[in-house]
Amino acid sequence: MKEELYLVDMYRDDYYPNFLVDRIKNYLQTAEQVMQHHSEDLVRVQQALDVAISSINDLAETFYAHNSEIETVAREDIAETVMTMLDHYTITLDIEEALRERDW
């Protein structure tokens, strides 16, 4: 998937420190590698997304420490990026299921 399709709104908004948005992007790109090579294996794709989303959850305190948080714009942007990834690889996971590990 093209770099510019990742977390577009978060990168545009100075409220989100770029180095933290980069971390989220890296977690999602790791999941994307699984999608790219195993798009037919929904269990494996879901496991990769679970790891990525759990890792994003773990960033909450770091966002707070930088006067930011994973709030509405960020949540929607992360979900949109995941939906774009799923569509790109024609993976038929429900977005709510794909993001099931989120605590934001």
Domain boundaries, the chain: 3-98
Cβ within 8 Å of residue 70, ≥6 positions away: 56, 59, 60, 63, 78, 104
**Confidence band, pLDDT 50/70/90 cuts, at residue 81:** very high
Tokens of 62: 């770091």
- The yes-or-no verdict on residue 1 having pLDDT over 80 is no
Tokens of 98: 């794909």
pTM: predicted TM-score of the whole model, two decimal places? 0.94
Quick: pLDDT tens for 19-60: 999 999 999 999 999 999 999 999 999 999 999 999 999 999
Distance CA 66, CA 89 (A): 34
What is the DSSP code (8-state) at residue 13?
A: -
Residue 83's pLDDT is what?
Answer: 97
Percent of the chain whose pLDDT exceeds 90 = 94
- The yes-or-no verdict on residue 91 having pLDDT over 80 is yes
